[in-house]
Amino acid sequence: MKDLKTPKQLRKEGWKGLNLKREPFESRSLGNSVFSGMVWLLALIAAIPLLSIIYMLLKHGGARLFSELLPVLTELPPAGFEMGGGIGPAIIGTLVMVAIASTIAVPMGILTAISIKILGKESKLARGAHFTAKVLTGFPSILSGVFVYAVLVIKFGYSALAGGVALAVLMLPTIIIAAEEALGQVPKRMTDAAYGMGCTPTQVMWKITLPTALPGIMTGVMLAVAGAAGESAPLLFTALFSNYYLSHMNEPTASLSVLIYNFSGMPFDNQIELAWTASLVLVIIVLIFNLFARAISRKKN
Amino acid sequence: MSRALFKEKIGKGITRPPGNSEIYGDVGFRFFSIACAWSIILLILFILWMIGKQAIPAMEKYGFGFLTGTTWDVNKQQFAVLPEVWGTLYSSILALIWGGILGVTIAIFLTQDFIHAKIASVFRLTVELLAAIPSVVYGLWGIYVLIPLLRPVAHWLHEHFGWFPFFSTELSGPGMAPAALVLAVMILPTVAAISVDAFRQIPAKVKEATYGMGTTRAEAIFKVLLPTASSGLLAALVLGFGRALGETMALAMLIGNSNQISLSWFSPANTLASLMASSFPEAGGVEVQALMYAALVLLLITFLVNLGGLYIQQLTMRKFEGSK
């Protein structure tokens, strides 16, 4: 502090000799460097799990997947000490249940967003529905399984349909929130112009608002689908599991995620290897939808 | 439009009021979307009602003792969830501390000019991909990578610091530490994403004024930016906590499913969600009712935590609304 000068001194002696440079070993700079170092370190640590997971997936799952692509993707899962086998029924099961969930959740989610954002702006219903969607985003996925168990499974037994409904409950909030945001970004002058032409609200919706908001809505839908494909907790006791291909909607169904869960705890190397292979396939499916979502939203910008 | 065409059309009416089908279509469509909005509200009430209805017998039978007892025994028909509630909260709090520190640090790393904006967006994508990886895959990774990796570390800690309550047992396989670590990685993207938003909401002039005072980056972040973003960061942490509470699969695979209350990081434990995941498929009769009661407890806890998070987030938004 000794070279700090009062304004009076400064005026007298001029600015000459005043050192405004920051010395690298002064305590403040040192503290700053330590802090920056810590931030770098922690950021790199955070990247380790992802890299490790990708490495393990490719090492354990990739070897099996790429050497026996066809049998792995089509054959039935192996029993006990059996060698070989595949994950065919699980892939089909996951795709079917996600499709069921999407047919329920996509139209319902978009229509709810429309009535929140466009039809009933600021109404009590809109606020209530928006709040519900927000609360549902933090809804533990297993509770959706518990709910469907109480509603459907107790009466009709385990089925692909029940699994699809459980996934739909989880997809809804993601779709609603994304669609609301996309609808809110449609410029008002466009809809005003359409109303000025004498369009009914529905015509404005179908011809102007929805096409304009479509990329944003699709992004939300893709993210919801990706999330649903990776879910396993709600499927554990709604779709259960099955070793065979799906033949009816009302019977237990295999899914990739439940297969991974079941096989991960088995004492057989073949099953564990298949669990890694199924994980790789599942991650690829999820990433494809994620990248789709990203590509769509980038196009919009 | 050319005059001739206009003349030709005007007789047939170039403008006309909407026809009957359009009016009915309009009314129908509006009715349908409003019905959908209602159904989403009814859905959550229906969920509460269905789970509640199934849980009523257990609630009458066990009452509040359900929350304070420690045994879950199907043969004796004794059900209580204190160890699960403890495990749920303890694992989530540990995950929140580890994942929260990492998440907020990453948000600082991405928003405070540590790296070029383009590299930051690549890094951001990496963190977002973490969110996309399914929970079971984390579980599998935890079993075959994290637990073998942790075992020697846990052994050393137990050997040398065994008197410390956190390290008081050996890690035999699954346990609290691997579960909470994986949970921390899983909530990291949530915390990071909301924290990044919180930092972005700070008006640029605040940052400019801070650096204009001659602060170093560390001082600017600790003394001005963190306090300014604090409510947004709090919302990030609370919402991350909410996610951790409801997480199921990775925990069911890693925590060991053993009903005990322990401070040790290396002893197996249980959580409400993994109790449901492991017992529901084989449960029947009375156990299902008890599980429904447990589901209701979990629903209540996550609901309250999420509500708190959303409320804080709302407050933050309002705080910055006028200043942009």
User: Is a pLDDT exceeding 80 seen at residue A22?
Assistant: no
Give the angle A24-A29-A33 at the CA atoms, nearest 5°: 95
Residues B133 and B252 in one domain: yes
Q: How far is B51 from chain A (nearest CA, A)?
A: 6
- The residue-averaged pLDDT of B107-131 equals 86
Helix axes B82-111, B117-132, angle to 10 degrees: 160
Question: Which of B45, B62, B79 is where one domain is finished?
Answer: B62
Inter-chain CB proximity B37 and A135 less than 8 Å? no
Handedness of CA A182, A184, A187, A188 (dihedral sign): positive
- Residue at A55 is within a domain: no
Residues B39 and B178 in one domain: no
Q: What is the pLDDT of residue B281?
A: 79
Inter-chain CB proximity A287 and B132 less than 8 Å? yes
Q: How far is B266 from chain A (nearest CA, A)?
A: 20
Most confident of A254-263, B8-17, B313-322: A254-263
- Residue at A118 is within a domain: yes
Indicate which CATH number applies to the domain containing B166. Answer: 1.10.3720.10
Confidence of residue B261 (pLDDT cuts 50, 70, 90): confident
C-alpha A45, offset from chain centre: 23
Asked whether the beta carbons of A71 and A86 are under 8 A apart, the reply is yes
Q: Which of A18-22, A37-41, A275-279 has the lowest mean pLDDT?
A: A18-22
According to DSSP, the residues that pair with B79 across neighbouring strands are B72
- Residue at B1 is within a domain: no
Nearest to B277 among A47, A202, A236 (CB): A236
B235 touches chain A (CB under 8 A): no
- Residue at A142 is within a domain: yes
- Residue at A137 is within a domain: yes
A173 to chain B: closest CA residue? B40
Residues B180 and B146 in one domain: yes
**What's the mean per-residue pLDDT of chain A?**
87
- Residue at A64 is within a domain: no
Residues B42 and B72 in one domain: no
Inter-chain CB proximity B280 and A149 less than 8 Å? yes
Residues B54 and B77 in one domain: no
Q: How far is B279 from chain A (nearest CA, A)?
A: 10
Residues B212 and B253 in one domain: yes
Tokens of B313: 């987030």
Inter-chain CB proximity B32 and A111 less than 8 Å? yes
Give contacts of A261 with chain B, Cβ < 8 Å.
Answer: 136, 139, 249, 252-253
Residues B33 and B75 in one domain: no
Q: What is the pLDDT of residue A299?
A: 72
- The residue-averaged pLDDT of A128-150 equals 90
- The residue-averaged pLDDT of B212-222 equals 89
Tokens of A24: 């690298």
Instruction: Enumerate residues 12 to 41 of chain B having a beta carbon within 8 A of any beta carbon in chain A.
Output: 15, 17-18, 22-23, 25-26, 29-30, 32-34, 36-41
A257 touches chain B (CB under 8 A): yes
B120 to chain A: closest CA residue? A43
- Residue at B5 is within a domain: no
Query: What single letter denotes the amino acid at residue B38?
Result: W
Give the angle A276-B90-B232 at the CA atoms, nearest 5°: 90
A33 to chain B: closest CA residue? B218
What is chain A written as a DSSP string? -TT---HHHHHHH-STT---SPPTTSHHHHHHHHHHHHHHHHHHHHHHHHHHHHHHIIIIIIHHHHHSHHHHHHSPPPPTT------HHHHHHHHHHHHHHHHHHHHHHHHHHHIIIIITTT-HHHHHHHHHHHHHHT--HHHHHHHHIIIIIHHH-S-HHHHHHHHHHHHHHHHHHHHHHHHHTS-HHHHHHHHHTT--HHHHIIIIIHHHHHHHHHHHHHHHHHHHHH--GGGTTTT---SS----TTS----HHHHHHHHHT-S-HHHHHHHHHHHHHHHHHHHHHHHHHHHHHHHH-
- Residue at A19 is within a domain: no
Instruction: Pick A9 or A78 by higher pLDDT.
Output: A78
Residue B74 structural domain:
65-321
According to DSSP, the residues that pair with B78 across neighbouring strands are B73
Inter-chain CB proximity B23 and A145 less than 8 Å? no
Q: Total structural domains in chain A?
A: 1
Tell me which of A25, A147, A285 to substitute to probe the interface with B (most B C-beta atoms closer than 10 Å): A147
In chain A the first and final C-alpha atoms are separated, in Å, by 52
Nearest to B277 among A28, A142, A144 (CB): A142
- Residue at A54 is within a domain: no
- Residue at B191 is within a domain: yes
Between CA A87 and CA A80 the distance in angstroms is 15
What does R_g of chain A's alpha carbons equal in angstroms? 28
Confidence of residue B1 (pLDDT cuts 50, 70, 90): very low
- Residue at B130 is within a domain: yes
Residues B208 and B74 in one domain: yes
Inter-chain CB proximity A129 and B40 less than 8 Å? yes
Instruction: Enumerate residues 86 to 105 of chain A having a beta carbon within 8 A of any beta carbon in chain B.
Output: none
Residues B50 and B73 in one domain: no
Q: What is the pLDDT of residue A93?
A: 93
Residues B138 and B255 in one domain: yes
Residue A147 structural domain:
89-300
Span A156-198, pLDDT tens digits: 989 999 999 999 999 999 999 999 999 999 999 999 998 888 8
Residues B94 and B226 in one domain: yes
- The residue-averaged pLDDT of A137-144 equals 90
Question: Which of B62, B91, B118 is where one domain is finished?
Answer: B62
Write the CB contacts of B207 (distance below 8 Å, at least 6 apart in sequence): B220, B224, B225
Indicate which CATH number applies to the domain containing A153. Answer: 1.10.3720.10
Residues B156 and B282 in one domain: yes
Give contacts of B34 with chain A, Cβ < 8 Å.
Answer: 115, 119-120, 125
Alpha helix (H) residue ranges in B63-146: 65-68, 82-111, 117-132, 135-141
Inter-chain CB proximity A135 and B303 less than 8 Å? yes
- The residue-averaged pLDDT of B19-46 equals 88
- Residue at A224 is within a domain: yes
Confidence of residue A17 (pLDDT cuts 50, 70, 90): low
Query: What single letter denotes the amino acid at residue A247?
Result: S
Q: Total structural domains in chain B?
A: 2
